[in-house]
A and B are shown apart, each in its own frame.
Chain A
Amino acid sequence: MSHPPARRTAPIIGLVIGLTLGLVYTWVIAPVENINTYPALLRADYHQDWVRLAALSYVADGNLGRARARLDGLKHEDVASAIQTLIEEYAAAGRPADTLRSLTTLAEALDVHTSAMLVYLHTPTSPAPADASAPSPTPTPAPTHTSTPYTLSVLATPTRTPHPPTPTPPPLPPFQVAQQEQICQSGQTPHIEVVVLDEHGAGMAGVEVWLMWPGEADRAITGLKPQSGAGYADFNAERGMPGSVNYTLGVGELGMPLVTDLRITPCPSQKGEEPLLASWRIVLEHRPPETE
């Protein structure tokens, strides 16, 4: 009395065929139309450009709320990556400090950090007064972090307060030369690398370094080539005949000289090797202010 197998299986097979045809039609032949999407669905390069446009718009209009709304819904790492790239690209291209300051302000507001932006986040602070005021009546607890006494004022808001002459002797320079060596690597162009370290040996970004030679000077800020380290800066030293230019390396707004009589001289070469000009690598170490 049972149904023949064909009669039972035919509806199942029909259902499967119908379902398959329906899915092929809706997924392949006539899928849902691709309209009304949103920025998070953009292809990676468009996505990055969206973030870039939002950041540049913030530079122009300064509207943080609008920038946040435009970046809302995007993954933080994507936003961070795009803004970091933009800041580093702009810093390397020497874009105006105001533009970079706006970008870094946005980055900071979005909790994005890159070493290149440290330069523009420094706020000007006048050097700590030599405690000329009355001493604190109560012993102050040790600070929880040591703030660098070194601050940038060139890129910061140009409020410059005159420093009245003080009878106290000039303080020791905040940096000392920890290492100075010549570099001879094939294919290199003569240059002077500077690495600025803090008292713990970590690279210090945002330090202004000067290279001076007769009648001219060049300035660099550490940390603008993050791939080389936060405390790194370098100068091209292709000037004049080998050994003819006498460079002085200084640090700080006034270019306080730390290394003098730097000359680009030939590397010792083996027979048959092409003569090569040596570069310099100078490591400066931050000297914490002396406490009595």
Chain B
Amino acid sequence: MQAAVAVAVGLALGFAVGWWLWPVQYTNTAPAVLRQDYRDDYIVMVATAYEVERDLEQARERLKLLNPEEPAVSVTELAERLIEADGSSEDIARLARLAWALGATAPTLIPYLEGPP
């Protein structure tokens, strides 16, 4: 009986230490596990860097780190969220242009396309 109680106490201690006091520390993570605001910023930066580099394949590869199947979806989703939240029109326009270049534009983004590249 005492042994069983001791095992239970040990387990509880183990859970407390492993999940709360001293959890696994992650390094070497990928952009996909960034907090939402960092992920959004990452997408905005990819769209902005695309304006400088004009390297669509590189932009696509970067976006694949967030959504390997449909990299452009992250861009359109973020652009639509920014439109709803009354976000920066410059950021929305950059996202719209990248989405358009990736062939994934949405009707709501059309007004932000000043002239597709």
Contacts and interface: CB of A to CB of B under 8 A. Distances in A.
Does A pair with B? yes
Most buried by A among B9, B10, B28: B10
B41 interface: yes
Nearest to A8: B2
Contacts of A13: 3, 6
Contacts, number: 147
A169 interface: no
A35 to B, nearest CB: 5
A240 interface: no
B64 interface: no
A160 B11 CA distance: 78
B4 interface: yes
Contact of A14 (B3, B12, B45, B51): B3
Contact of A22 (B17, B62, B90): B17
Q: Is the interface of A mostly helix, strand, loop or mixed?
A: helix
A16 interface: yes
Interface stretch (B31-39, B69-77, B79-87, B101-109): B31-39
B42 A34 contact: no
Contact of B65 (A35, A36, A41, A46): A46
Given A21-B11, A56-B49, A14 B34 contact: no
Given A49-B62, A56-B52, A19 B23 contact: no
B45 A22 contact: no
Contacts of A50: 31, 42, 45
A53 B10 contact: no
A4 B45 CA distance: 69
Nearest to B46: A53
A57 B49 contact: yes
Interface stretch (A25-33, A218-226, A274-282): A25-33
Interface SS majority for chain B: helix
A123 interface: no
A266 interface: no
Contact of A25 (B8, B18, B52, B62): B18
Contacts of B7: 14-15, 17-18, 21
A91 B38 CA distance: 29
Nearest to B15: A22
B68 interface: no
Interface string B24-59: 101111110111101001101110110111000000
Contact of A21 (B10, B30, B44): B10
Most buried by B among A24, A37, A44, A50: A37
Contacts of A32: 19, 23-24
Contacts of A10: 2-3, 6
A7 B1 CA distance: 10
B1 to A, nearest CB: 9
27 contacts: A7-B2, A11-B2, A11-B6, A13-B6, A14-B4, A14-B9, A15-B6, A15-B9, A18-B7, A18-B9, A18-B11, A18-B14, A20-B14, A21-B10, A22-B10, A25-B14, A27-B24, A31-B18, A31-B24, A32-B23, A34-B33, A35-B33, A36-B33, A42-B29, A43-B27, A57-B49, A60-B49
Given A10-B2, A57-B49, A61-B90, 5 more contacts: A25-B18, A34-B33, A36-B34, A41-B29, A56-B48
